[in-house]
Amino acid sequence: MRPLCDLNIEELVATSEKYGQPKYRAKQIMRHIAAYDSFDEYTDLPKSFIAQLKEEYSDRPLTEVTRVTSSDGAVRYLFKTLNEDLIESVYLPHDYGNSVCVSAQVGCGMGCVFCASGKHGLVRNLSAGEILSQVLHIAREKRDNGGVNKIVMMGSGEPLANYDNTVKFIKLVNSADGLNIGMRSISVSTCGLPDKIVQLPDDGISCTLSLSLHAATDAKRKTIMKVAEKYSVDELVDALKTYFDKTGRRVILEYILIDGFNDTKADVADIKNLLKGLCCHVNLIPLNPTDNCSYMPPTKKRAYAFCDMLNSAGVSASVRRSMGSDVAGACGQLKNRTVEEKAKRNKKS
Ligand code: SAH
């Protein structure tokens, strides 16, 4: 059984033809997928064809296990896939539109020390449809509140380590027959795989690209991110320059603030030096402390002072307001807690 929403328009045409149906069925199905209809709402399709689809495909690839709603309106969802893996997604309502933050993998193999998603390593890649259905589930629920206008691939997993499914997902969600979310309203966040960064525009992707920099020298970055052993910050900045040249899109650097570790005057100089000549903006994100590491965020005052130092040095930067941190805001924490509580209950019984 595979998610029906894994299929793009060409594959839906092929499926329709396989069952002796006219080509236009593909567009009809696409419309139902975009509305996240269940099969019994496919009323403009022959019943026999729906029965054939049901044998191979699922209209509900995710079931909601639990959710937590934050006082600021953010909702963190825990979903179960068809094979019972757990993944998290977040809904973030803003005045200017609603975003969904999606997961690209079950777990993560990148091993960043501060991150809860990578705590138990990579389990598997999510299919394009499994990524898409996180958005579809939430968009359907919120359809009377403006739906979903913006996607950020900043949930669990490394999108560029699941490259083909990430590209397919972006094309599906961007498609005029799908949710029609513009490239400018889609962000991909990566820990930094330079070969994949430069490949994206060649595959038709010109979304906002965010690089999780977090430290501006290789020596410092290696102490918190395993991927820094493989790629240098200079290689990454070169890849970002190429991405900008190919797409004309300003890139984003994400920089978590860890008290006393990467928020000093010397770090400002390293950041300025590294980002010279790159059209970019730095998003400062005070670390969300997780159960698995002892790092702490700086005080609010210190975070804003660091931001001011960057701006004074000519580096465009802002402190990101973090939403939903009262509901286990860092990705992977809701899943970890749910799994740990279940283990505890099983032990008791
Ligand atoms: N693998 C991708 C996307 C997922 S993580 C990446 O690395 O970019 C999304 C963002 O959240 C990344 O910038 C990541 O470094 C950051 N992040 C992870 N754990 C965090 C924490 N505990 N506090 C704040 N940000 C965190």
The ligand 1 atom at the shortest distance from the C-alpha of residue 288 is 23
Work out which ligand 1 atom sits closest to the CA atom of 108.
1
pLDDT for the residue numbered 72:
84
Lining ligand 1 with CB less than 6 A are 110, 112, 114-115, 154, 158, 189-191, 212, 254, 256, 285, 287-288, 290, 330
Spatial separation of the C-alpha atoms in residues 105 and 91, rounded to whole Å: 18
Q: Whose CA is nearest to atom 18 of ligand 1?
A: 115
pLDDT in tens, 280-319: 999 999 998 877 678 999 999 999 999 999 999 999 999 9
pLDDT score recorded for residue 331: 61
Contact criterion met (CB below 8 Å) for 9 and 25: no
Catalytic residue among 101, 108, 280, 331: 331
In the set 5, 88, 101, 254, the catalytic residue is 88
- Answer yes or no: 331 catalytic: yes
- Give me the average pLDDT of each 10-residue run along the chain (349 residues): 97 97 97 97 97 97 94 92 96 91 96 88 97 98 93 96 98 95 97 98 98 98 97 98 98 97 97 97 91 86 97 96 58 68 69
- Phi, psi (5° rounding) for residue 157? 95, 165
What ligand 1 atom has the least distance to the C-alpha of 290?
22
Q: How far away, in angstroms, is 41 Cα from ligand 1 center?
A: 38
154 CA distance to ligand 1 centroid (A)?
7
pLDDT at res. 328: 46
Q: Among 186, 218, 220, 179, which residue's Cα sits nearest to residue 205?
A: 186
Q: Is the dihedral angle over the CA atoms 55, 61, 66, 70 positive or is it negative?
A: negative
Nearest CA to ligand 1 atom 20: 115
Strand partners of residue 99: 92, 150
The pTM for the full model equals: 0.94
Spatial CA neighbour of 245 closest among 282, 209, 284, 290: 209
The verdict on whether 293 is a catalytic residue reads no
C-alpha triplet 192, 196, 202: angle, nearest 5°? 140
Residues 5 and 33: beta-carbon distance below 8 Å: yes
Atom 2 in ligand 1: residue holding the nearest Cα: 190
Around Cβ 47, how many Cβ atoms within 10 Å?
9
For residue 210, give the ligand 1 atom closest to its CA. 8
